Amino acid sequence: MKKYIRQSLFNELLQSINTKQNLIQAIVGPRQVGKTTLVLQLFRRWKGPRLYESADELSTPNTEWISTQWNKIRDKSANKKSKSLIILDEIHKIPRWSEAVKKLFDEDHRTNFNIRVILLGSAALLMQRGLTESLSGRFELHRHNHWSFKECNECFKISLEEYLYFGGYPGALLMRKNEERWARYIRDSLIETVLSKDLLLLSPITKPVLLRQAFSLATSYPAQILSYQKMLGTLQDAGNTTTIASYLQLLSKAFLLALLERWSGTKIKQKGSTPKIIVLDNGIISSMSGSDFKSTIKDKTTWGRFLENAVGSKLYSLAMNSGGELFYWKERDYEVDYILKLGNKIYAIEVKSGISKKLPAALSIFKKRYGTASLITISNSKTQKSEPVSNINIEDFFRNPKLIFNN
């Protein structure tokens, strides 16, 4: 796994740090998806002065540590004009980190030090808060998400069915032949670390038991619409819907979930709507389910949810990286799984685990409401562009989610 390079992400980052305009390169993403591995691959190829340090090992992190590392790379840069590289990992754990970075980065510009900066963090909210509060106009943001099927297939030779069950955490995939060990690793090393460590940095947790219950409930209803009121009736010591909603938002900021709002064509109606829950990696669902790979595949209803959730996760990443938004649509008994809005373009997407033979009724009704929308099914039928609805084969979609934009 260490030799595998996520080439598109690597190339994008390499190009960004080598441009004439020197901006801070900030990388955010879930734990254990290879952010550090990728920057170290780039680090080893760097020809000039270089320095990598991680704040994750600090017991009492402070801004003095940032200044110390920065002065080390300055000392290595005998020729100010030659490019130097400093990589600071898990920097969000240092209070007031962005102010310290701004001061040092601006000093380099005034004194003509050509130091290229890469910052990494696994807490999106803390990273983006620091970037926007202190470093506005000085950074580029790179989102490194869970591994795609194409990447997992190339690196681990896994099938699509395996990918839909085991997900896209590369370190865990090495253990997939021993399912108990794999699930234990996901729960203990990934989920537990986020719940007991990362989320405490994001916000005060007044009801930690409720947070865990909300997370467990969310993983039990992947790709399903679940009202906050229904959650309130399911959870113990739930308090109120505001608390539940805030905890689910925290889980989304930690790259575990996405909460999709209902599409109505107006922002006013969308705000505060009953959410559709997307778990951002199917491995999280599987590790919490207590059901093994073979049993899950045989259960058509469960497998359909796994497929719909995985499609939703990829569409969500696609929307975030493309400047778009992802919704669901529901009117009475009719529901369209996903509505992807990109600029003025609207894509209505229905997921089918079998063969798509005719236009789904919900898509037909949605088209009547929003005549400019492109209608798409994702199914086991072959990929073909046609009217009134185009189809993308399931495996084709997971190999290249951007096929959506061909319609």
Q: Which CATH architecture has domain 7-143?
A: 3-Layer(aba) Sandwich (3.40)
Give φ, ψ of 47 to 5 degrees. Answer: -90, -25
State pTM to two decimals: 0.92
State the CB neighbour count (10 A cutoff) for residue 120: 26
What does the DSSP 8-state code read for residue 207?
-
Nearest to 232 by CA among 247, 252, 254, 251: 247
Domain ranges of the chain: 7-143, 149-406
Burial of 348 (0-12, 13-18, 19+ CB in 10 A): buried
Three-class SS of residue 63?
helix
The DSSP string of 7-40 is HHHHHHHHHHHTSSS--EEEEE--TTSSHHHHHH
User: Can you tell me the distance from the alpha carbon of 139 to that of 24, in angstroms, rounded to the nearest whole number?
Assistant: 4
Amino acid sitting at position 165: Y
Smallest Cα–Cα separation from 238: which of 205, 211, 278? 211
pLDDT tens by residue, the chain, 407 residues: 458 999 999 999 999 999 999 999 999 999 899 999 999 999 999 999 999 999 877 676 789 999 999 999 999 887 777 899 999 998 888 888 999 999 999 999 999 899 999 999 866 666 777 777 788 899 999 999 999 999 999 999 999 999 999 999 999 999 999 999 999 999 999 999 899 888 877 778 888 888 999 999 999 999 999 988 888 877 776 567 888 888 999 999 889 999 999 998 765 455 556 999 999 999 999 999 999 999 999 999 999 999 999 999 999 999 999 999 999 999 989 999 999 999 999 999 999 988 777 788 999 999 999 999 999 999 999 999 988 999 999 999 999 999 999 87
Measured distance CA(191)–CA(284) in Å, rounded: 8
